[in-house]
Amino acid sequence: MKLKHIFMLLGAVLLGLTACSKDTPNTPDLSKTLAGTEWEATVRESDAGNKSVVTTIVLKFVDGTKFTSQSTQQTIKNGAVVKTEVDDPEQGTYTYEGGVATLFINTRDHEGNAAMMELPLTMDSSKQQLTGKVPNEAGTITILTFVRKK
C-alpha cells in the first residue's frame, strides 16, 4: 500500500511541475525573423531661431516580407512643443538575411519621378538595435538607430 501512495505522490508532483513550466514570451528569434516586431528611432535636428525638430519613426515588421513606417515630427522652441505633424503610414517590403534587413521604399527623386530606395539596417541583437545610414537632400548622411519597442 505504501508503494502505491509513493507512486501517486510522485505522479502528482510530476504533473504539478509540468503545469508550472516557465511561461516564455511570444518573442521571435531575431537571428531568423523580424516579423511581428516594432522598432523606434528618434532624430533631433537644430533649426534656425532657437528651434529644434524631433522626428520619431516607428517601424513595424508586419510579416516576413512587409513593413510599415510612420513618422511624427515635433517642432520645439524653448523646451515647448509648438507644432506636431504626423505623416501617413507608409508600406514597403524588406528582406532579412545574415543580420541585415534591407528595406525597399517607394519614393520620389529630385525630378518627382517614382524611385525605389534601398535602406540596409544592420542588426545588433545584443543591444536590440537596427542601424542604418540615410542620405538626405543636403548631401549629408543621417545615422538612424532603431531600438526595439517592448
- Over residues 12-17, the mean pLDDT reads 52
CATH code, 83: 2.40.128
Percent of the chain with pLDDT over 70: 81
Spatial CB neighbours of 69, under 8 Å, sequence gap ≥ 6: 57, 58, 59, 60, 89, 90, 92
Is the confidence at residue 29, as pLDDT, over 80?
Answer: no
Q: CA nearest 52: which of 88, 89, 77, 28?
A: 77
The overall average pLDDT reported for the chain is 83
C-alpha cell at 25: 514570451
Task: Tell me the pTM.
Answer: 0.74
- Whole-number pLDDT of residue 21: 46
Indicate whether 9 belongs to any domain. no
Alpha carbons 96 and 120: distance in angstroms, whole number: 9
- Whole-number pLDDT of residue 71: 93
Indicate whether 121 belongs to any domain. yes
In the chain the first and final C-alpha atoms are separated, in Å, by: 54
Q: How many residues does the chain have?
A: 150
- Over residues 13-35, the mean pLDDT reads 62
Domains of the chain: total: 1
Enclosing domain of residue 120: 38-148
Tens digit of each residue's pLDDT (9 = 90 or more) over 37-73: 999 999 998 877 788 999 999 999 999 999 999 999 9
| DSSP code of residue 101 | E
Most confident of 11-15, 24-28, 35-39: 35-39
Indicate whether 32 belongs to any domain. no
Is the confidence at residue 2, as pLDDT, over 70?
Answer: no
- Whole-number pLDDT of residue 24: 47
